[in-house]
Structure 1
């Protein structure tokens, strides 16, 4: 009998839910907790799926469960199938009897300035009745708010293990640090180096934040120091105005200025960022049941994210 026919006949939703949970959680233990299953029951379902597929979907080891190449390919299809089923179920709900959904979202300030406006617009095309309450926060405050139940969904950075306890994290992209100026900045008339850039006023995130740590690592690596003329602020809107209108050099996470670079309202200096970048992803509470609006938002984020920034 045709192998593909057998796969289509025998696969069940529990196989897809189990597979996606393990892929997102990274370990069988956390996935079992999320699905309210015992680990042996989850392992059995996963083994059934791999037998149906005729291939290993995960490599299991001390560090958890890592997707194989075949697993990465299957994950795309599994997520789409589950998303489609969620949307199909929504069609049976009498809209006139429902209260408007209220969705509470916490996002990094750089995300709010960068990718999130387009995500909201696409989300409301599918959920025109939804009320979205958005808070822009530093990452530690965002994580604490998610744990306390103040937000349904967050877009934030991976943090220390103790900070991530009780939370589920799904990587979207790695966010690098860029140095940007207005397009007619005098710096751009010459060969640009980090030391030459630091001869101008700088606007940068406060100490203790992830962008500041990356900037300080870059400075140490190239034996440079911040100038005396310095603005430290967590306000991306203020920093953006200083860079757009004056001669400030802005140290900024790449996700916040994607549109500015695309439309050439700001110019990036050819100065290499330190390291691969900070991981930014979708964060929810482990084991919590997501509302339909939360599921739609998460699906929209997955479809809209820019890949590695």
Structure 2
């Protein structure tokens, strides 16, 4: 039996939410329906997509590989439907687009691929830079829209935004780390560990402010602008990391496992959004980019 689009939809939801119950709640269906769909999908593919544990599910390396195919298939189907809706009103012109480095790797690719399929006659010019500089370009009218972390948007009077995702901070640990077996992890536990800091899109600033509030200077073992470097360093035991769930993947490039755990206390969240100049007339190309970005929100964020 071939797998169905419904099974792919349920699989992506479980992968995003980390548990059948949370996925079922977001989809507004029964847990048994989700469980049956995942079981049938695993049977059809002949691979184990998830590892079951007391806290929920962890996606396997095969599951992680299949997730990209599943999201591509669902995006292609959505694009095919959209093509018939817009074929008589093809959008032309240019789109000046800005993106921060973290969003370029974890948010922009899917949005941009869908946008290009829907609007093949639009010429897209994209620039990657810091959020502060992109805001400057938006206010100056040099960009139509930008995708960035909006948690600390500085000029809210001049800019308008639509939140696409809200991602909580979690603790990344190497396999077998002693904190992974604790029922509850506190911020005080984290301050006792060497930290791997990601110095991109204000990630380090948020983590340092959070831990400094405890009156303890964080023990920074390594600073990097590469998420892959963070994964490799955490997976090999060089330290732990506090990062938003948005960028979490359970495997390093070398194939080493990375655990992710909640931390008790008031941890910040990262808001990801699409931003444009307030009061500025938007081109059809820009309006459709915003619409596609909104449609690309994770299931639980809508």
Whether these two folds match at TM > 0.5 is: yes
Q: Distance in 2 between matches of 1:246 and 1:151?
A: 42
The residue aligned with 1:291 is 283
Aligned counterpart, 2:88 = 91
Aligned CA distance change for structure 1 residues 153 and 265 (closer, same or farther; 3 Å): farther
Return the alpha-carbon distance in structure 1 between the equivalents of residues 273 and 260 of structure 2: 24
CA distance in structure 1 between the aligned counterparts of 2:267 and 2:192, rounded to whole angstroms = 24
- In structure 1, the residue matched to 2:238 is 247
Q: What secondary structure does 1:164 align onto?
A: coil
Q: 1:264 to 1:239 in 2, by over 3 A?
A: closer
Aligned to 1:280: 272
- 1:256 pairs with one of 236, 243, 247: 247
Alignment of 1:122-141 (within 5 A): 122-141=114-133
Residue 114 in 1 paired to residue 106 in 2?
yes
> For residues 300 and 264 of structure 1, what CA distance do their matches in structure 2 show?
35
Structure 1, residues 205-233: CA drift from partner, whole Å, max 9, x if none?
A: 449x6433432343245554311x52233
Structure 1 pair 264–121 and aligned structure 2 pair: CA distance change class (3 A): farther
- 1:189 CA displacement: 5.5
Contact 2:212 2:218 in 1 (8 A): no
Comparing 128-137 with 172-181, which one deviates more in the overlay? 128-137
> Residues 93-151 of structure 1: CA distance to partner in whole angstroms, max 9, x if unpaired?
5x8xx6xx543322233322323222222222212344444333332122112122332
Q: Rg: which structure is higher? A: 1
Aligned residue-pair number: 215
User: Any conservation in 2 of the 1:243–1:249 contact (CA below 8 Å)?
Assistant: yes
1:134–1:284 distance in 2 versus 1, CA, 3 Å: same
Aligned to 1:15: none
Counterpart for residue 211 of structure 1: 203
Q: 1:212 to 1:308 in 2, by over 3 A?
A: farther
Q: Give me the whole-angstrom Cα distance separating, in 1, the residues matched to 2:250 and 2:104.
A: 14
How is 1:146-225 mapped onto 2 (pairs within 5 angstroms)?
A: 146-156=138-148, 157-159=150-152, 163-182=155-174, 184-187=175-178, 190-191=181-182, 192-206=185-199, 210-225=202-217
Q: What per-residue deviation string (whole Å, max 9, x for no partner) do you get for residues 214-262 of structure 1?
A: 32343245554311x52233443433443345533122222222x558x
- Seen in structure 2, the aligned counterparts of structure 1 residues 226 and 159 have a Cα distance that, compared at 3 Å, is closer
SS in 1 for 2:116: helix
2:57 counterpart residue number? none
Which position in structure 2 is the counterpart of 1:3?
none
Higher helix share: 1
Would the alpha carbon gap of residues 302 and 189 (structure 1) be closer, same or farther in structure 2, given more than 3 Å must change?
closer
Q: CA deviation at 1:283?
A: 0.7
Alignment root-mean-square deviation, CA: 3.8
Q: CA–CA distance in 1 between the matches of 2:94 and 2:196?
A: 36
Name 2:258's counterpart in structure 1: 266
Structure 2 distance, partners of 1:254, 1:273, is 16
